[in-house]
Structure 1
Amino acid sequence: MNPLSQQQVRGMMPQPTMPVVDRERIYQWINDLSSPETRENALLELSKKRETVNDLAPLLWHSFGTIAALLQEIIQIYPCILPPVLTASQSNRVCNALALLQCVASHPETRSVFLAAHIPLFLYPFLHTVSKTRPFEYLRLTSLGVIGALVKTDEQEVINFLLNTEIIPLCLRIMEGGSELSKTVATFILQKILLDETGLSYICHTYERFSHVAMILGKMVLSLSKEPSARLLKHVVRCYLRLSDN
C-alpha cells in the first residue's frame, strides 16, 4: 500500500482559519482599492490572495465602491488599445484587476449578480485586440480567463448570457490567430458552450454559424499538424465530437 503524499495528508486535516491579522490586512487592501493612490498595491496584494481567501468574492462585491474601482481600472486603459500603446506595467495592473473579477465570476454567491451587471461586456474590447505584443497577449489571456471561469460552472444562465453577446465570434478569431494558451482557453469556452444543449442548437441553427465554427476548427487541425499541442488538440476534438451530436 503506497504511503499518502504530504499534500493528501494536508487535505485530510482540518485547515486552520485565516489569522485575524491577515483578515485585517485583506479588509485594509479592499478599502485601499477606493483610493487611486493606494489602489495599485492593493490590486497586487489581493490578486495574490484570491485563491486562499474563500470569501474574497463576496467581500469585494459587497464593499462600497470596490467593483466600480475595478471597472475604472479596465475603462481607463481603453484609449491604449487603439492605437496599441499598452505598456507592460499597465497590462500587469489591469490584469490584477481582472484576476479579482475572475474571483467574483467563479464564486457561487456572486456569479449571478456579476452577470446581471453585464460586467463581462467590459472585457470584450480587450478580446477585440490583435496586437501580438506580450502586454496585449497577457491582457487577452486574462480576459479569457474570466469568461472561462464562468463557463466552467456549467450553469445555464451563463450560457444564456454569453449567447446574447459576441463571445463566439471573438473566441473563433482568437482560436485562429492567438497564442497557444489563448487558443486553448478560447477553444475551452467554445467547447463548454457546445456542451450545453442551447449552445449547440444556437451554433447549428444556421449554416453560416456552423460553417464558421467548422472552418476555424479545420484550420486549427492543420496548424496542430505543424505545431502539436496535446492540450489544445483535446479541446478541438471535443468540439468536433459535440458538433457530431447535432
Structure 2
Amino acid sequence: MADNEDMQEIDNFWEDAWEEITLDFLDSKIDQDFAVQNCRKSERKKHKNRRMNKATEIPNLILQFQEENCRESALRKLSTFLLEKREEDPDNYYWTAHILYNSCGTMTILLQELLTFSRMMVDGNLTRRASKRLINVLTLFQCIAADKVTRHSFVKSSVPSFLVPLILFKAPMEEFENVRAVALSVIGILCQARESDIIQWAVENNMVEVCRISIEIGNELCKVIGMHIIEAIMQDDSGLSHICNSMCNHLLEELTATWYSLVTFLTVDQDYSPRLLFHIIRCYILLCDNVGGYNVVKGSLPEPIINGSFHDIRERFPLIESLIQQLLLTVGKIDRSIPASPH
C-alpha cells in the first residue's frame, strides 16, 4: 500500500511540475522573468519523497536497475530524488552523474530502456506508463549531461544520438509530448555550456535540423527548448558558420521560414509564452553576426516584429523590447510601433 501511495504521489509531482523543472535546466533570463510574473515557483507544492531521503541510498537504487522487477520503481525514485535535489544539493547531483555513467552495466541498462520504448513506438504500443518510465530514464541522462566531466564521455558514447528518433516521432498521445520535451532538454543541457567539442558534435549530428522540426511538430515547451538549443549552437562561431554556410543554404532558408511561421502564429495567439519570441529575436540578432545571415535577416524579417504587433509583450518584458530595438537598429528597419513625430 505504501509503495502505491508513493507512486501516486510521484505521479502527481510530475503532473504538476515537470514542465517547470525541465525549463529550470535551461538558463534564460526571460524564463526567470516569466516564472516570476506567473508566480509558478511560489505556488508549486514541494513534493516530499518519503521513500528516499538520503543521497547514500543512490548506489543501492542504481544496483536495483540490474533486477528487472525492481527497475521501474528504482528509476522512478532516483529520478524524483534528482529533480528535487539538483539545486539544493548540487554536489550529490553531480556525484550521481559519475556513478550512473561509470558503474558497471548501468548505461547499457538505460540504453536498453530507451530501445525498448523505441520498439513500442514503432509497433504503436505506447502507453502512459511507458512514457513516464522513459522520462525517468531521460531524467538520469539530464544528470549525466549536466556534469562537465561525464557529458563529454556521454557524447562520445553516441547515446545522445539515440534520442533523435524520440524527438522526431509523431505520436497521437499527449503524454508523448512530455517525452519529446525531456529528450530535447538533454540535448539542451549538453549544448548550453557552449563547449566547442559539444557544439561540433551537435553540428555534425544535424541537431539544428532536428530542433527545427521539433519546433514545427512539438508543443509549446518543445518549441521553447528547440529554440534554446539552436540559439546555443549559434552562439558558437562554428555553429553559426555551419548554419550560414552557402554550401548548405537550404538549412538557413528552412530555419528562417520556420521562425517566420512561428512569429506569424504568435501574433494570433499571444497567450503563448514570451520565451518563444525572446529566443527568436535572439537568433535573428545572432544571424546578423554573419554576412550571409545578415542579408537573409534584412530581407526576410517578419513584418509583425516591425509593425508593433507585439506591443503588449514588449511593454511587459523590457528585455524583449530592448532586443527588438537592437535587431531593428542592426538591420536598419524603422520601428513602426513608435508613432511618427508630427511635422
TM-score norm. by structure 1 comes to 0.88
Q: Is residue 86–residue 135 contact of structure 1 (8 Å, CA) maintained in 2?
A: no
Quote the Cα distance in structure 2 between the aligned partners of 1:155 and 1:104: 15
Alignment of 1:215-230 (within 5 A): 215-228=257-270, 229-230=273-274
Quote the Cα distance in structure 2 between the aligned partners of 1:83 and 1:235: 36
Quote the Cα distance in structure 2 between the aligned partners of 1:174 and 1:101: 19
Question: Structure 1 residues 214, 234: CA separation in 2 closer, same or farther (over 3 Å shift)?
Answer: same
Q: Work out the number of aligned pairs and report it.
A: 226
Q: Does 1:236 align with 2:280?
A: yes
Corresponding residue of 2:67: 35
**What is the CA-CA distance between 1:83 and the residue it aligns to?**
4.5
Quote the Cα distance in structure 2 between the aligned partners of 1:79 and 1:48: 25
Corresponding residue of 2:323: none
Q: What amino acid does structure 1 have at the position aligned with 2:280? A: V
**What is the CA-CA distance between 1:135 and the residue it aligns to?**
2.3
Quote the Cα distance in structure 1 between the aligned partners of 2:134 and 2:55: 24
Q: What amino acid does structure 2 have at the position aligned with 1:237? A: I
From 209, 212, 216, give the equivalent of 2:254: 212
From 190, 203, 210, give the equivalent of 1:170: 210
Q: Is residue 243–residue 251 contact of structure 2 (8 Å, CA) maintained in 1?
A: yes
Local SS of the residue matching 1:108 = coil
**What is the CA-CA distance between 1:82 and the residue it aligns to?**
2.5
- Segments of 5+ residues of structure 1 without an aligned counterpart are 1-20
Quote the Cα distance in structure 1 between the aligned partners of 2:126 and 2:210: 20
Q: Does 1:155 align with 2:195?
A: yes
Which one has a bigger Cα radius of gyration?
A: 2
Which string of whole-angstrom CA distances, capped at 9 and with x for unpartnered residues, describes residues 177-200 of structure 1? Answer: 311111000010011111110000
Q: What amino acid does structure 2 have at the position aligned with 1:212? A: E
Q: Is residue 129–residue 136 contact of structure 1 (8 Å, CA) maintained in 2?
A: no
Q: What amino acid does structure 2 have at the position aligned with 1:235? A: H
Quote the Cα distance in structure 1 between the aligned partners of 2:163 and 2:157: 13
Q: Is residue 209–residue 251 contact of structure 2 (8 Å, CA) maintained in 1?
A: no
Q: Does 1:63 align with 2:103?
A: yes
Q: Is residue 65–residue 106 contact of structure 2 (8 Å, CA) maintained in 1?
A: yes
Q: Does 1:102 align with 2:136?
A: no
**What is the CA-CA distance between 1:161 and the residue it aligns to?**
0.5
Quote the Cα distance in structure 2 between the aligned partners of 1:242 and 1:23: 42
Quote the Cα distance in structure 2 between the aligned partners of 1:234 and 1:119: 31
Corresponding residue of 1:46: 78
Corresponding residue of 1:3: none
**What is the CA-CA distance between 1:23 and the residue it aligns to?**
3.8
**What is the CA-CA distance between 1:132 and the residue it aligns to?**
4.3
Corresponding residue of 1:7: none
RMSD: 1.3
- Segments of 5+ residues of structure 2 without an aligned counterpart are 1-52, 291-343
**What is the CA-CA distance between 1:133 and the residue it aligns to?**
2.0
Q: What amino acid does structure 1 have at the position aligned with 2:264? A: L
**What is the CA-CA distance between 1:92 and the residue it aligns to?**
0.2
**What is the CA-CA distance between 1:112 and the residue it aligns to?**
1.0
Question: Structure 1 residues 175, 91: CA separation in 2 closer, same or farther (over 3 Å shift)?
Answer: same
Quote the Cα distance in structure 1 between the aligned partners of 2:217 and 2:162: 22
Quote the Cα distance in structure 2 between the aligned partners of 1:104 and 1:201: 29
Quote the Cα distance in structure 1 between the aligned partners of 2:143 and 2:188: 11
- Between Structure 1 and Structure 2, the one with more helix by share is 2
Q: What amino acid does structure 2 have at the position aligned with 1:118? A: S
The percent identity for this pair of structures is 31
**What is the CA-CA distance between 1:84 and the residue it aligns to?**
3.6
Quote the Cα distance in structure 2 between the aligned partners of 1:231 and 1:83: 35
